[in-house]
């Protein structure tokens, strides 16, 4: 995979996406097991994150079919697929994950605390270790077992400088068949 693509590729957001899905699953309404698609809007103070994501999407779209397939296979091994729109990602939630109410995170670097739970609304904070470390808070609204929305604030470091990122996300259930996409497994 090209080096520039690996730095800004949307699959790098998989741990945060799963952290957010796990927060959503913890609310009183349970997510439907199966294939989910998540779209997001990102706004950073510097604008660098949006630029990197746009560049990564352009590079992905411009890849020859065989290289694109390799990148998609790499993403699928991480439990993430490309969605139906630019920047959209697909994730598979197994029946066991849905029944447990909390899908596993992509890795063990993030911890989460629920600060308020009321009906189908959940507020949470999180801290993620790694390079760069990040922290933040968010709120999820589960409209139904097949739809949710969220607002998340992430504090991290981008190119050596502190950065605050605002993310708006929408999740929608696609169907019960995940196809070749496997659910993300918990780290061992």
| pLDDT tens digits, one per residue of 88-114 | 889 888 888 777 655 444 456 788 888
- Rounded to an integer, the average pLDDT of 141-162 is 89
Concatenating the DSSP letter of every residue in 74-114 gives HHHHTTEEE-SSTT-EEEEE-HHHHHHT-PPPSSTTEEEEE
Query: Does 132 sit behind a cis peptide bond, omega within 30 degrees of 0 on the bond before it?
Result: yes
Strand order in the sheet with 80-82: 80-82, 89-93, 34-44, 161-175, 147-158, 134-144, 121-128, 110-118
Residue 177 to residue 188: CA distance in whole angstroms:
26
Burial degree of 115 (CB within 10 A; 0-12, 13-18, 19+): exposed
Per-residue model confidence (pLDDT) at position 66: 92
Quick check: 185 pLDDT over 70?
no
Percent of the chain at pLDDT > 70 equals 78
| pLDDT tens digits, one per residue of 3-19 | 233 333 343 444 455 55
Per-residue model confidence (pLDDT) at position 19: 52
């Amino acid at each position: 995979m090209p080096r520039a693509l690996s730095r800004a590729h949307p699959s790098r957001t998989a741990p945060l996406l799963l952290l957010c899905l796990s927060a959503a699953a913890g609310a009183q309404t349970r997510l439907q097991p199966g294939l989910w698609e998540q779209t997001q809007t990102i706004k950073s103070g510097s604008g660098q994150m949006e630029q990197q994501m746009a560049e990564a999407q352009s590079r992905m779209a411009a890849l020859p079919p065989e290289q694109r397939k390799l990148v998609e296979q790499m993403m699928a091994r991480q439990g993430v697929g490309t969605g139906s729109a630019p920047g959209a990602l697909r994730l598979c939630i197994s029946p066991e994950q849905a029944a447990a109410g909390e899908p596993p995170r992509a890795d063990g670097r993030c911890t989460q605390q629920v600060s308020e739970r009321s009906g189908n609304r959940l507020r949470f904070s999180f801290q993620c270790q790694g390079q760069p470390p990040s922290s933040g808070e968010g709120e999820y609204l589960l409209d139904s077992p097949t739809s949710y929305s969220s607002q998340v604030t992430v504090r991290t470091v981008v190119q050596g400088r502190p950065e605050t990122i605002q993310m708006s996300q929408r999740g929608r259930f696609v169907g019960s068949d995940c196809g070749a996409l496997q659910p993300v497994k918990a780290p061992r």
